[in-house]
Amino acid sequence: MDKIRVRFAPSPTGTLHIGGARTALFNWLFARKYLGKLVLRLEDSDIRRSSEDSALGIMDGLRWLGLDWDEGPDVEGDFGPYRQSDRIDIYRKYLDQLIDQGKAYYCFCSSEQLAAEKEAARLAKADYRYAGHCQTISKSEAEERIQNGENPVIRFKSPTDGVLVVHDLIRGEVEFNNRLLDDFIIAKSDGWPTYNFAVVVDDYGMCISHVIRAEEHLSNTPKQILLYQALGWELPQFAHVSMILAPDRSKLSKRHGATSVQEFRDEGYLPEALINYLALLGWSSGEDRDFWTISELIERFSLDGISRSPAVYDIEKLGWMNGHYLSAASADRIAIMLHKEAHRRGFISDHSEDKFIRVVALVKNRVKTINEILNEGSYFFEPVSSYDEKGCKKYFQKENSSTLLKEALKLCQESDFFSVENLEQELRQRAEELNIKAAQLIHPIRLALSGRTATPGIFEVMEVLGKNECIDRINSAILYAESLKSR
């Protein structure tokens, strides 16, 4: 097999969409697996809609996911330039070639005229196809009109009969009838190529061996193949990956929540979790296996495993997976990610870095996203401002509540808070002496220290909080519990 070269070719008109990210991932895995090259190409031939910010955002998103490229706008390569806006001369050359060969022609029809024809076709319930008025305009006449300031588009002269078959690596052979095609536009009146023309020139020029892209491009493929043929070029292999759908099976859009990888990043998902989840959305190795490292994915990835049917993405499962990766991640790493916000909320001062990391270590195992960590662990850094209502009923308003809280207080006062193990031992021993269950002390302490009924292990919480803080908080709780009684 010739050298494997694939590409990811986003148009920088928005963010890196989760579907685009998956396409990029599949291309990346394919390139890495077969020791090929991945090229990143910016399809910015629509100057008006493209922006540098968007391009930067997309590249940033890819990098965050760990998907690197071997050639691209920012990486020298032998097949550049890698942004369409820098390739106008190349397009021009092949456009001219097709016109010289009579395979394409200038079209001067006004958009008003075309719109009217389309409307007429619609009213007649007929399919609209460009009628080919300008096919007969001679080259010299066309040149003269251009000299005189007209700005024609260029149309490709499509065949009017025959069947064209796309050999798709995922879908098999897909047939299209040429009769349905009209003379589509390959260059706009501003001189820029349209998508269908630019991809062909670029994929050929960049020696792309496999075009792995979203299914939305399948219907365009016949046009592109016609162009390859007209230009006398060998076809790449095609593989059209099905789309990712929203839970209601409609196209994924903003109203379905996060759709871009930057949003997932901002909402506290880990890149390795997103990669793992995306890899399994629409691809399967056939094995009964949920967790995959990047190198395992590279090793097992294959186009055969890509599903033909569209996949609905399930945020719950992503969350579940992220939770697992969060547990596995080091507290240091997560703490760094939270640093800025933790500072803003006053959770970290100059000498409390260590405490913050300990809290992160305790809390990260029980949440699904990084962003939940600060709220989940807020009581480690802020005084308890209220107590869980149900908790109060159970642990602060019982007959013996005060007694138990006072026992807890005494326990803290007498302990040296030497270690988690020690604390536990001391508490259990005290419970035994009092002839009560350890839980009878533990629950009130948890509520007193955190205001909550669910926290990490109570002895860890005590240790992190420290002796003085525990004593203060239990004292406050005693006062609060008594105030409840007197009401």
Partner RNA sequence: GGCCCCUUGGUCAAGCGGUUAAGACACCGGCCUUUCACGCCGGUAACAGGGGUUCGAGUCCCCUAGGGGUCACCA
Interface with RNA in residues 221-250 (CB under 7 A): 242-243, 245, 247, 249-250
Give the residue with the Cβ less far from RNA, 34 or 176.
176
Per the structure block, which two tokens stand in for 426?
Answer: 């001391």
Single-letter amino acid code for the residue at 143: E
Give the residue with the Cβ less far from RNA, 122 or 344.
122
Residue ranges in 46-65 that form contacts with RNA under rule CB under 7 A: 46, 49
d(CA 197, CA 225) in angstroms, rounded, equals 10
d(CA 369, CA 326) in angstroms, rounded, equals 7
Torsion of CA 220, 226, 230, 231, to 10 degrees: 40
Give the residue with the Cβ less far from RNA, 93 or 317.
317
Taking contact as CB under 7 A, which single stretch among the options 60-68, 396-404, 451-459, 478-486 is the one that binds RNA?
A: 451-459
Task: Give me the least distance between CB of 350 and RNA, in Å please.
Answer: 31
Q: Does 257 bind RNA (CB under 7 A)?
A: no
Residue ranges in 307-366 that form contacts with RNA under rule CB under 7 A: 307-314, 316-317, 319-320, 323-324, 327, 365-366
Per the structure block, which two tokens stand in for 431?
Answer: 């419970």
Residue ranges in 204-223 that form contacts with RNA under rule CB under 7 A: 215-220
Task: Give me the least distance between CB of 300 and RNA, in Å please.
Answer: 12
Q: Does 395 bind RNA (CB under 7 A)?
A: no
Q: Which of 92, 16, 84, 95 is nearest to 47 (CA)?
A: 84
Give the residue with the Cβ less far from RNA, 158 or 209.
158
Q: Does 422 bind RNA (CB under 7 A)?
A: no
Residue 470 Cα distances to 65, 413, 446, 450, 460, angstroms: 42, 9, 10, 10, 12
Give the residue with the Cβ less far from RNA, 269 or 348.
269
Q: Does 127 bind RNA (CB under 7 A)?
A: yes
Is 355 known to be catalytic? no
Q: Does 153 bind RNA (CB under 7 A)?
A: yes
Helices H / strands E in the chain, number of each: 20, 11
Q: Does 123 bind RNA (CB under 7 A)?
A: no
Task: Give me the least distance between CB of 11 and RNA, in Å please.
Answer: 3
Task: Give me the least distance between CB of 45 and RNA, in Å please.
Answer: 4
d(CA 432, CA 411) in angstroms, rounded, equals 13
* Contact (CB, 8 A) for 245 and 310: yes
Residue ranges in 67-106 that form contacts with RNA under rule CB under 7 A: none
Per the structure block, which two tokens stand in for 141?
Answer: 């006449």
Give the residue with the Cβ less far from RNA, 460 or 472.
460
d(CA 470, CA 444) in angstroms, rounded, equals 12
Q: Does 468 bind RNA (CB under 7 A)?
A: no
Q: Does 251 bind RNA (CB under 7 A)?
A: yes
Task: Give me the least distance between CB of 323 and RNA, in Å please.
Answer: 6
d(CA 305, CA 280) in angstroms, rounded, equals 10
Taking contact as CB under 7 A, which single stretch among the options 27-35, 195-203, 294-302, 404-412 is the one that binds RNA?
A: 195-203
> Please, how many CA atoms are within 13 Å of residue 406, restricted to the half-sphere of its CB?
7
Kindly name the residue from 223, 254, 364, 467 that is annotated as catalytic: 254
d(CA 53, CA 265) in angstroms, rounded, equals 17
3-class SS at 109? coil
d(CA 474, CA 412) in angstroms, rounded, equals 9
Q: Which of 456, 438, 444, 448 is nearest to 473 (CA)?
A: 448
Candidate residues 171, 339, 345, 358; the one interacting with RNA per rule CB under 7 A? 171
Taking contact as CB under 7 A, which single stretch among the options 53-61, 87-95, 139-147, 194-202 is the one that binds RNA?
A: 194-202
Candidate residues 455, 464, 465, 473; the one interacting with RNA per rule CB under 7 A? 455
Taking contact as CB under 7 A, which single stretch among the options 23-31, 54-62, 64-72, 109-117 is the one that binds RNA?
A: 109-117
Give the residue with the Cβ less far from RNA, 4 or 200.
200
Candidate residues 14, 77, 81, 305; the one interacting with RNA per rule CB under 7 A? 305
d(CA 421, CA 462) in angstroms, rounded, equals 11
Candidate residues 4, 6, 9, 31; the one interacting with RNA per rule CB under 7 A? 9
Torsion of CA 396, 399, 402, 407, to 10 degrees: -110
DSSP characters for 333-396?
A: HHHHHHHHHHHHTT---TT-HHHHHHHHHHHGGG-SSTTHHHHHTGGGTS------HHHIIIII
Residue ranges in 260-279 that form contacts with RNA under rule CB under 7 A: none
Task: Give me the least distance between CB of 454 and RNA, in Å please.
Answer: 3
Residues with catalytic function: 254
